[in-house]
Structure 1
Amino acid sequence: MTTIELATITIAGTAVVLAPIPAASIHDLTETLALPEPPPAPEPEPTPVLNYDDLGSYWGADTIANTEDLIARERAAGTAIDEWNVTARDGQPLRIVRLADPTFLDTICVIPSAALPIDPNQLADLLLAPAADANALHQQLAEQAGPRQARQILAAAHHIAAERLWADPS
């Protein structure tokens, strides 16, 4: 280090140390400072609809409202539309909609439905019991949740029960 560099650093350091401190920035340690209000919680993202082509390539996500508008427009235009209601392995009901496009690739929308009112894992336990009666269980579910949701819940429970049977080595 040269003498000039050393002198420059010494002068700059002295200027920083001797710089005046404004009185407004000095706080009494016994005084409590008001904390700023926390920002509002962000709005939850709408549940995404996943869009694929008929070859299985992911095209992107959209909102349920936008997808329902698209389906309504395509119906009005006379597009061939196929729909399926299925249950995912975790018990989540899904609506699958295929919008046919004869000039290009079809659009397939995977739309999550409302959460199931009854846990399919609990029903899987009942189905695995020796005296299980799936028909009686279906009737009880249909009375509680309606016939469509009863089928979805029972299908998920059967799937979970089958996976448990295959995983059990005994």
Structure 2
Amino acid sequence: NPTKDCNVTGLIFKSSIVKKTNIEFDVNLTHAEDSLFFLQTLLNAKDIIVIHDIVYKYNYVNNSSVRSVNENQFDSYLPTIYEIYKIDGFSKNVYDEIYAFVLNQVLIVLVNNIYSVNNDKSIFSLLKYEKKILNEQIVQESLNNISFKYCDKKRKLLFHLMQKHRYYLLGLICRQKSRMNKRKG
């Protein structure tokens, strides 16, 4: 799950890698900038150690900027996504994860913004925004190139709905996920 794993929460980076490569957070990016930092650092690391113990707790905040209703929210992710696409040197399976990352960002926006339970726009308006996002060139490229080998069943279903232009069904699922998230928060 690249959206969950491709960030800097609960991670420790060796300072020598960051200093040697001059990797910094891009202050011009507003969304998913930690994912770009993570991937740039990952590319320069010789070793990665994974600890399976719970050492970090994430607090889900319903009214955060990422979860506020804004139909143009995906536009805030695009600069970072394009920067991630520029990174060269990954293996094929990492590129598959990058395609999944792009599509996961789409799902985040659909669940937390477009189909948010707080969004009271008409279904026709919501479908229009969903179609706009799914027809972005970078989203289409990800849909055309993704390998489902690394996707769990739930994401595989959602990505297939995107590929098959099943906008209404995808929207219904995203609204239900938004309801579930609201109950969690």
TM over 0.5: no
**TM-score normalized by structure 2?**
0.25
User: Which structure carries more strand by proportion?
Assistant: 1
Q: Higher relative CO (CA 8 A, sep ≥ 6), structure 1 or 2?
A: 2
Could you say which structure has the larger radius of gyration?
Answer: 1
**TM-score normalized by structure 1?**
0.26
